[in-house]
Structure 1
Amino acid sequence: MSTRKASEGEERPIEGRDALVAPMQAGEKAPDAWKIGTEHEKLVFNKQDKHAPSYDEPGGIRDILMAMRQFGWEPVEENGKVIAMSGDDGTISLEPAGQFELSGAPLDNLHQTCAETGRHLKQCKIVGEECGVGFLGLGMWPDKTREELPVMPKGRYDIMMRHMPRVGDLGLDMMLRTCTIQVNLDYASESCMAQKFRTSLALQPLATALFANSPFTEGKPNGFLSFRSHIWSDTDPHRTGMLPFVFEDGFGYERYVDYMLDVPMYFVFRDGKYIDAAGQSFRDFLKGELPALPGELPTASDWTDHLSTAFPEVRLKSFLEMRGADGGPWNRICALPALWVGILYGEGGALDAAWDLVKDWSMEEREALRNAVPKQALDAPIPGGRKLRDLAGEVLDIAHAGLAARARHDASGNDETGFLEPLREIVDSGKVPAQLLLEKFHGEWGGDIGRVYEEAF
């Protein structure tokens, strides 16, 4: 989740609708300036008894964050508490239950992305040894109840945790139990954004299937391959889902602004504190009629904050966020940006080719696939009497061709196509990561979920 920088000051009130469109317009970049931003979360556990560390305990989340200073990271504070670390490789953020997230820096190519990921995980291992903790790459806690998980001292989380049970049954699970990998990518224009948004939204269920990695709840199989993805279906219908309007003619910045104005607010940030505005309307805020701050008008920072509080499968801010994947180990962290960069940045017509595969689907078919994937993954049916696995091979071929045409090479002369190999292995085998974990659980683990910690980084 987003970390607000403490140095951000108050701004002039928003004047007119142009200010609401401005962040999206400001994201437009020439193709040679497009960047890759990768975010990945890890579960943190105490090596002795496998509990999830609290913020304040010795060797807990605060100590882990502060131990990162030895690598040049600097603390970011909120109300005297360290809530993030800032450095050359981006930001390490404080997630609701202590999930450890790197929000990576914007980079030029996948070789840099994987080098950044490798540095971060090496640092995590060193700090883990010092603090007595390990890091687990899964989409969801495999054995912890909500009550066993700590809550981090961050103002927006208090507000969200109070509000979540009012709007869905699984919102607290989303906050406390889940981990994801995300990729943030650029666009050149409004029409470029729209085409990338449509294509990536239609294909997001494929990413969910390929990265499905959350088959356990409280020590037992939960009947899903990506329970993390299922959780989003019962979190908050006002701010999640497949966004049918994205596929309508004329979709662009203005239509997304309208959507965001209808997303209920969570909070307003003033004088270093989060003010509870959960369920209130940004439209009222624009008229100076927000109950939480009567008479005040929103600033650009308020709008930026609000843009971070919607959670659709693809999200637009000043870039596009791919949000469909479960957390996983190092090679899959690198594979997710490879998939999306190959499609959305790939040269030689990759984006058009990918859209051609899915452009004729109806909205009902898109929704049906999104709903089937958490349980069936690559076995989910798609239009035309085929399975998602069949489409996966075609999409990977397009991504591979797109990466090859980009021709971004490392010092050894390798292009970026090798980062797709973990996904190719999944498609060739027909088994997603969750299915391999279930095989171990029912086989060599003998039903002992504690063995899952052997999968730690």
Structure 2
Amino acid sequence: MSTREASDANEPVIESLDDLVAPMIGGEKPAADWRIGTEHEKFVYHRSDRHAPSYEEEGGIRDILLSLREFGWEPVEENGKVIAMSGADGTVSLEPAGQLELSGAPLENLHETCAETGRHLNQVKQIGERCGVGFIGLGMWPDKTREELPIMPKGRYEIMMRHMPKVGTLGLDMMLRTCTIQVNLDYSSEADMVKKFRVGLALQPLATALFANSPFTEGKPNGYLSYRSHIWSDTDPHRTGMLPFVFEDGFGYERWAEYMLDVPMYFVFRDGKYIDAAGLSFRDFMDGKLSVLPGERPTASDWWDHLSTAFPEVRLKSFLEMRGADGGPWSRICALPAFWVGLLYDQGALDAAWNLVKDWSMEERERLRSEVPRLGLATRLPGGGTMKDLGRDVLKIAHQGLAARGRLNASGDNETGYLETLDEIVSTGKAPAQRLLDAYHGEWNGDVSRVYKYSF
């Protein structure tokens, strides 16, 4: 979610459907202006005993954030507490249990993206050495219970944590125990957005399979390769899922706005504070009938906040967010945007990717989504073959798409090298989670704490 710093009392209210679709229309850009925004989260642990540090403790999350000032980052506060740091490389912010996230800047190519990621990880590693903490890239805490984890001082998280148990059994796990890698991508028109959305949604189970990296819960195998992905299946059915309407005739900005109007609210931000509106209707808000703010109507900022509270596999704001991957180390942080840029930022690649998935039924798409968290690349495809076979075909298209872009670094290399870690996964048929499980049942002798050797 985005980090709000202030509310503007003079901001115009939303009055019509045109106002609701304005952010999506405003996101349209010519291909020359398309950018890549990469977000990645990591778990923080104290090296002495591997506990998750609290916000307040010495060397804890607050101290880590403030230490970023030496690299030019500036604090962002909520109610007098630092909740994020802002800088040239984007924003470093807090997830609910202290997971540290970089929401990167919009960049022109993957070379810049990987350099940004490298700078960030180098900075936090330097700070970690002084604070006695380490960072690890996984999709889920391998050994922590909910009760062992701290809660960060952000008003929206208090509201969400109260609401989550009312609508699903795993929402608190999503908030407290998971990490992800995401990429935000542009579109040129409504038609371009629709095709990218459909390809992204249909292939999101493949991304989940390739990046599956959460096989442990509370110290033992949990029966899944991506338990993080499974968690979303019982978080909140009103704001998650594969969105069948995206594949229906007539899908576009207006249909997305209608969907978002039906997503229950979480909060309204006023005078620096979050007002609990969990479960209430944005439609009522537009009519001035929101019970917690009677007579008030929403502003553009309220709508933008609300757009960030749906969690489907692909999400539309003024850009498209690809949301299906588990957290991971540096190489996979770079690979996730490479995968989607290769498929979606070249027209030939986009068309080829759509041809692979366009004939699947909605029931088949839903089956892939439900089976992949457990079966990964072994998941059977509609019409025969496995997700591994699809991965081979899709990566070939992604390679071609990146080569066609022709974005070179100083050494003359194009962007295809960032797909190598995925090529290796498809070649062996083993996702990261399977390698962790092999180690757990082999050289680790059932000791999941050995996973910490994979720290950044």
Give the TM-score normalised by the residue count of structure 1: 0.99
In the alignment, what sits opposite 1:147? 147
Q: What are the within-5 Å matches in structure 2 for residues 380-395 of structure 1?
A: 380-395=379-394
In the alignment, what sits opposite 2:398? 399
Aligned-residue offset at 1:153: 0.1
AA partner of residue 371 (structure 1):
S
Q: Please give the root-mean-square deviation of Cα atoms over the aligned residues, in Å.
A: 0.8
Indicate whether 1:116 and 2:116 are aligned.
Answer: yes
Structure 1 CA distance, aligned partners of 2:409 and 2:8? 37
Aligned-residue offset at 1:3: 1.5
Structure 2 CA distance, aligned partners of 1:366 and 1:191? 21
Contact 1:346–1:399, Cα closer than 8 Å, also in 2? no
Contact 2:6–2:271, Cα closer than 8 Å, also in 1? no
Contact 2:225–2:375, Cα closer than 8 Å, also in 1? yes
In the alignment, what sits opposite 2:331? 331
In the alignment, what sits opposite 1:134? 134
In the alignment, what sits opposite 1:350? 349
Q: What are the within-5 Å matches in structure 2 for residues 227-242 of structure 1?
A: 227-242=227-242
Aligned-residue offset at 1:449: 1.1
Structure 1 CA distance, aligned partners of 2:341 and 2:320? 12
Contact 1:6–1:78, Cα closer than 8 Å, also in 2? no
In the alignment, what sits opposite 1:176? 176
Indicate whether 1:257 and 2:257 are aligned.
Answer: yes
- The SS at the match of 1:228 is helix
Residue ranges of structure 2 left out of the alignment (5+ in a row): none
Aligned-residue offset at 1:10: 4.9
- The SS at the match of 2:274 is strand
Q: What are the within-5 Å matches in structure 2 for residues 264-413 of structure 1?
A: 264-347=264-347, 349-413=348-412
Aligned-residue offset at 1:245: 0.2
In the alignment, what sits opposite 1:84? 84
Contact 2:37–2:184, Cα closer than 8 Å, also in 1? yes
Contact 1:10–1:301, Cα closer than 8 Å, also in 2? no
- The SS at the match of 2:324 is strand
Residue ranges of structure 1 left out of the alignment (5+ in a row): none
AA partner of residue 164 (structure 2):
M
AA partner of residue 14 (structure 1):
I
Indicate whether 1:243 and 2:209 are aligned.
Answer: no
AA partner of residue 187 (structure 1):
Y
Structure 2 CA distance, aligned partners of 1:122 and 1:9? 40
In the alignment, what sits opposite 1:72? 72
Aligned-residue offset at 1:8: 5.7
- The SS at the match of 1:381 is coil
Contact 1:379–1:387, Cα closer than 8 Å, also in 2? yes
Structure 1 CA distance, aligned partners of 2:251 and 2:439? 46
Aligned-residue offset at 1:288: 0.3
Contact 1:6–1:76, Cα closer than 8 Å, also in 2? no
AA partner of residue 99 (structure 2):
Q
Aligned-residue offset at 1:2: 2.2
Runs of 4+ in 1 over 6 A off after TM superposition: none
Structure 2 CA distance, aligned partners of 1:9 and 1:25? 24
Indicate whether 1:453 and 2:452 are aligned.
Answer: yes
Identical-residue share of aligned pairs (%): 76
* C-alpha distance after superposition, 1:310-332 (max 9, x if no partner): 00000000000000000000000
* C-alpha distance after superposition, 1:214-243 (max 9, x if no partner): 000000000000000000000000000000
* C-alpha distance after superposition, 1:150-201 (max 9, x if no partner): 0000000000000000000000000000000000000000000000000100
Structure 2 CA distance, aligned partners of 1:17 and 1:190? 16
- The SS at the match of 2:43 is strand
The 1:396/1:122 distance shift into structure 2, 3 A limit, reads same
In the alignment, what sits opposite 2:45? 45
- The SS at the match of 1:143 is coil
Structure 2 CA distance, aligned partners of 1:208 and 1:127? 31
Structure 1 CA distance, aligned partners of 2:452 and 2:168? 30
* C-alpha distance after superposition, 1:59-111 (max 9, x if no partner): 00000000011000000000000010000000001110000100000000000
AA partner of residue 39 (structure 1):
E
Q: What are the within-5 Å matches in structure 2 for residues 154-173 of structure 1?
A: 154-173=154-173
Contact 1:10–1:299, Cα closer than 8 Å, also in 2? no
* C-alpha distance after superposition, 1:356-389 (max 9, x if no partner): 0000000000000000000000000111121110
- The SS at the match of 1:290 is coil
Structure 2 CA distance, aligned partners of 1:73 and 1:361? 46
Indicate whether 1:107 and 2:107 are aligned.
Answer: yes
